Amino acid sequence: MTLPPLPPSRTPSALICDIDGTITDERRRINTDAIAAIRTLVDAGVPVVLASGNTICSMDILCKMIGTDGTIIAENGGVYRVSFQGVPRICGDQKLCWEAFHILESHFAEQGRTLDLYSPDYRVADVAFARTVDIAEVRAVLRAFPVRILDTSFAIHLQSPGVNKGSAFLHLAAEMGIEPADFVAVGDSENDAEMLGSAGMSAAVANGHQVTKDAADIVTEKLYGDGFVEAVRFFFSAYFLER
């Protein structure tokens, strides 16, 4: 990726990034170079936010092991929190999501098929299940129901309309006291597009969905976690000059 240096007015001060497909490989193994890049920023005092479809408890483990301060967006924007000590802010209407899920459950039960839920006891805003059914069929069954359907390539999520990583990011940035324009956002999936579009600077890794690439300022040459490192080194080059 050969791009000119960022002008001084575009120097970022914070990072928000997706996890699965962005700082991992295709098998969901976390890229160790991506962890090193995040720690370089954290150690330099740059706030790093992890944004994912995962549950809060899963995010807590990841934040602790990677080394961030626990500021997160979870459940695809359904909930966010500033630091480990912060109060989780729930944006999504899980009751609505469960109603939609039960419609799907009945539909597929008539075919002798079941839906495998992901972490139902730990979710507070959305409903997630395994990608063992056709997403097009899911959308067709729920076409008249007011719910957002997300295929993250790792799971299918049901979310409240208007709730996404981008909307949660704007609330989170305000609570952090940082302008969205000062953030770099990095992601890969279709559900990252609003987040990338809301940040001042953004990158999609090369394996990303076309919608996400269209929302990004740059698209990396490298895939997955290697692409994330490429993007971070571009936008935050001053912190990597000696590496």
Tell me the C-alpha distance between 162 and 146, whole Å.
Answer: 10
Helices 224-235 and 32-43 pack at an angle, to 10 degrees, of 30
CA distance 105 to 132: 13
Which residues are part of the catalytic machinery? 18
DSSP sequence for 62-112:
HHHHHT--S-EEEGGGTEEESSTTSPPEE-S-HHHHHHHHHHHHHHHHTTT
Q: Are 91 and 124 in contact, with CB atoms under 8 Å apart?
A: no
Report whether 18 contacts 187 (CB < 8 A): yes
The DSSP secondary-structure symbol of 181 reads: G
Q: What is the distance between the alpha carbons of residues 218 and 223, in angstroms, rounded to a whole number?
A: 13
Residue with tokens 């699965």: 20
